[in-house]
Amino acid sequence: MRRLWRDRRASFGVAVLAIVTGAAVAGPLVSTGGPTAQHDIVATRFLRPLATDHAGSFHPLGTDRFGRDVWTRLVYGARVSLAVGALAVLLSVVIGVLVGGIAGFWPGPVRTSLLALTDFVLALPRVVLLLLLAAMTRPSAVLVIVVLGLTGWMSVARLVHGEVRSLAARPFVEGAVALGLRRGRVLVRHILPNALTPVIVSAALGLGNAIMLEAGLSFLGLGVQPPTPSWGNMIASGRDTLVNAPWVAAAPGVALVLVVVACTLLGDALQDALNPATRYQTQRLPA
């Protein structure tokens, strides 16, 4: 843990995620009016960043074509992006742990078929699958969470499978089995708690990925629907006003990149902290 705190990548990742989460939770306190609030459209639309409108409201990131405050929408969009991303990752971790745990502890046809399933889903282009599912039903945030969860569990399953397999040969597991405990209980109580460390890395990387994909779907109009702000549909709406008001599309994109970079760096730092092999390397190389 101490090593993690000294890692600048980890502190950057945690700081960005903490700030974005804080802003999202405290949305009304750090912004002016609601995300869909419109005043006098003609007077307040396309205000440049750092402008103050006729009523005296300050717009740190300017306004869009309806005179809505971009900063406020960004903050409320963070709620959607983070919530959808976190829930999707939670769902994929649950599925991944289940599939990986069962595949790791039940050799034979169960393991073979679950691993084949994992490889199969891994070979699918995820966005194509997302688009296919989005085409089937009315787009909504819940659908995006389910679809992202259902297409994101494979790396977790592989990691957990590997861990469980190596743990299953350890004496304490053999002991638990020898005591006559049911295999399911051994898996849940004795093996999985020890196999979950690498899942954290995968979850951190998966969060960035899920947030990016949610924004992508919303950008194409297949995710979160306007007027609810999400970073993806904000970029889409800024696309039409790229010439007059580039900040409308630029701001949510910068936020998106920051959050994804934070997740990736945090994941990398966790990986190094948890994996003794790369830890040894970073020490050995001239630093």
The count of chain residues that interact with other proteins, using the rule CB under 8 A, is 47
- Please report whether residue 265 would count as binding other proteins according to CB under 8 A: yes
Q: Which of residues 192-231 bind other proteins (CB under 8 A)?
A: 208, 212, 215-216, 219-222
What is the nearest approach in angstroms of other proteins to the Cβ of residue 68? 19
Nearer to other proteins, 119 or 174 (CB): 119
- Please report whether residue 113 would count as binding other proteins according to CB under 8 A: no
Q: Please name the amino acid found at residue 186.
A: V
Q: Please name the amino acid found at residue 187.
A: L
Q: How many CB atoms lie within 10 A of CB 258?
A: 15
> Which of residues 33, 107, 193, 246 is near other proteins by CB under 8 A?
246
- Report H helices in the chain: 2-6, 8-25, 27-30, 41-44, 70-105, 109-123, 126-136, 141-150, 154-168, 171-178, 183-185, 192-195, 197-219, 231-239, 247-274, 276-284
Nearer to other proteins, 50 or 242 (CB): 242
> Which of residues 90, 98, 250, 274 is near other proteins by CB under 8 A?
250
> Which of residues 26, 30, 43, 128 is near other proteins by CB under 8 A?
128
- Please report whether residue 124 would count as binding other proteins according to CB under 8 A: yes
- Please report whether residue 98 would count as binding other proteins according to CB under 8 A: no
For CA atoms 39, 44, 47, 51, the dihedral sign is negative
d(CA 84, CA 74): 15
- Please report whether residue 34 would count as binding other proteins according to CB under 8 A: no
Half-sphere exposure of 71 (CA within 13 A, CB side): 18
| SS3 of residue 225 by DSSP | coil
Q: Which helix (H) or strand (E) holds 245?
A: none
What is the nearest approach in angstroms of other proteins to the Cβ of residue 24? 19
**Site of interaction with other proteins (CB under 8 A):** 119-120, 122-129, 131-137, 208, 212, 215-216, 219-222, 235, 238-239, 242-243, 246, 249-250, 253, 256-257, 260-261, 264-265, 268, 280-281, 284-287
